[in-house]
Amino acid sequence: MTLQTVTWMSAFLCLAQVCSMPMPCQLQGQLVRITHNLLRDMVHLLNYFWGHFPLECLQENVFVPFPATTFATSGLSSSDPKAIYETLKNIDTLFGADDLPTKWDQRKLENFQNIVYRQIEESKCMMGSVDTSDYLIRTEGLKTYFGNIAAVLKEKNFSYCAWEVVRQELLYSLQFILEHNSDSLLWANRT
């Protein structure tokens, strides 16, 4: 009986030790890639200009300058993942609107929203130690960028074409992150 109690206690203590181990506080690269792909694939590509923008919306297409300098640093900065985190928070805010396009694949849209939310929730811990030297400049650039995107939506009354402008801009943003800031992301078994 004593041996069984010691065995159970040992197993419990090992499990408690494993469960209490700190999880890496980092955005997951694979989830950022899936988010990008869901956003890219949530439309039927028939009648789309070069596969990304609907022909019917070409006259309403608006260029919103992406703040690449928000992510560009010399070397890996502790603000890189925080800028990505802020980008995801802004995306989540944009997609919190009730006027989302019904032409989009609703299952992919819901998966997209869920993964963005999951990334934000799992990565809140990274905001505990904010390096204010360049972090505030970066967030200001993102705030302006996403403010401009929200203004396009509002100006065009949350129309389908306005959402396509948003989708196009966010695809570019996520692609930029994947290409230029992948070292700031956690990749499982990256080969």
Distances in whole angstroms, Cα of residue 155 to Cα of each of 82, 127, 149, 152: 29, 33, 10, 5
Q: What is the gyration radius of the CA atoms in the chain, in angstroms?
A: 21
CA distance 71 to 87: 10
What is the model's pLDDT at position 5? Answer: 57
Q: Which CATH architecture does the domain made up of 25-184 adopt?
A: Up-down Bundle (1.20)
**Average confidence (pLDDT) over 56-69:** 84
CA distance 28 to 81: 10
CA distance 128 to 126: 5
Could you tell me the end-to-end alpha-carbon distance of the chain, in angstroms, rounded to an integer?
49
CA distance 94 to 121: 17
Q: How many CB atoms lie within 10 A of CB 79?
A: 24
Q: 120 pLDDT exceeds 70?
A: yes
Q: Where are the domains of the chain?
A: 25-184
**pLDDT, greater one: 184 or 132:** 184
Q: Does the reported pTM lie above 0.85?
A: no
Residues near 53 by Cβ (< 8 Å), separated by ≥ 6? 61, 164, 168
Using one digit for the tens of pLDDT, what is the confidence trace for 22-62? 445 778 889 999 999 999 988 765 545 555 677 788 888 88
Q: What percent of the chain has pLDDT over 90?
A: 40
- In single-letter form, the type of residue at position 106 comes to Q
What is the model's pLDDT at position 9? Answer: 55
* Residue where the block lists tokens 């200009």: 49
Write down how long the chain is.
191
